[in-house]
Amino acid sequence: MFEFHGLRFGGFCGSWKYKPRGNYLFEDFEVEQLLASFPAVDVFVTHNSPRLIQDRDDEVHTGFAAFNGYIQRAKPKLMLHGHQHQNVETVIAGTRVVGTFGHRLLVVPE
């Protein structure tokens, strides 16, 4: 976690363990354990989306349920993720979830 201009940023690198070997591949229960003591941040940056939020119709481009739990607990203002290769926005539990592909200019809500 780090702070910049009064905003707390933090994140989680990695995606689903969709192949037997590789770096930064996790099962959902592992992500849940790692996030259990993760502090609340204003901007949460991840590779995957939350589960059932901006998922695609294949087993690789789905989100982590552990992120849904983190959003419920920590209530970040903004969650920014990639992986799904689409530009889309959703609001869940008061958190603006932004899937991005390429580049975007974002404003963090106050």
Among 39, 68, 69, smallest CA distance to 51 is for 68
3-state secondary structure 47-75: CCCECCCCCCCCCCCCCEHHHHHHHHHHC
pLDDT in tens, 21-48: 888 889 999 999 999 999 999 999 998 8
> Is the pLDDT confidence value at 80 over 80?
yes
Beta pairing, strands 7-12 & 78-81: unpaired
Residue 42 domain-assigned? no
pLDDT of 58 reads: 67
Residue 101 domain-assigned? no
Alpha helices in 9-109 (DSSP H): 28-35, 65-74
pTM: 0.87
pLDDT of 76 reads: 97
Residue 60 domain-assigned? yes
pLDDT of 2 reads: 92
Residue 24 domain-assigned? yes
